[in-house]
Amino acid sequence: MAAGIKNLTSHPQVLQVEFVRQDSGLVVFKNAVTLPTAGVYFTGPTTPLSAGSYIVKVSGTGIQPVMHSFTVYGY
């Protein structure tokens, strides 16, 4: 699983990407990246996620956090 992020602001941004388990609130992956304007970056856990529901949260300075949920089946 990976998250693709793009800086849509008019200046470089430091963005934090988190994968969070919905049932416990446990952060299972966290990464901060610096993106230039219009920069694109892909990031995510390096090991498979266990079965369950997750939220990907992307936050940065001066922007509202963006969240998206997904479910892993199996494992």
Which residues is 57 bridged to in the sheet? 18, 67
- pTM as predicted: 0.88
Q: How far apart are CA 36 and CA 38, in angstroms?
A: 6
Residue with tokens 């694109």: 40
pLDDT in tens, 39-74: 999 999 999 999 999 999 999 888 899 999 999 998
Q: Pairing between strand 3-6 and 66-72?
A: unpaired
Q: How many domains does the chain have?
A: 1
Provide φ and ψ at 65, rounded to 5°: -60, 145
Full domain range(s) for residue 14: 3-72
Q: The CATH number of the domain where 45 resides is what?
A: 2.60.40.10
Q: What average pLDDT does range 11-25 have in this prediction?
A: 96
What is residue 75's predicted lDDT score, i.e. its pLDDT?
A: 58
What is residue 52's predicted lDDT score, i.e. its pLDDT?
A: 96
Lay out the sheet containing 13-21: strands in order across: 27-35, 13-21, 52-60, 66-72
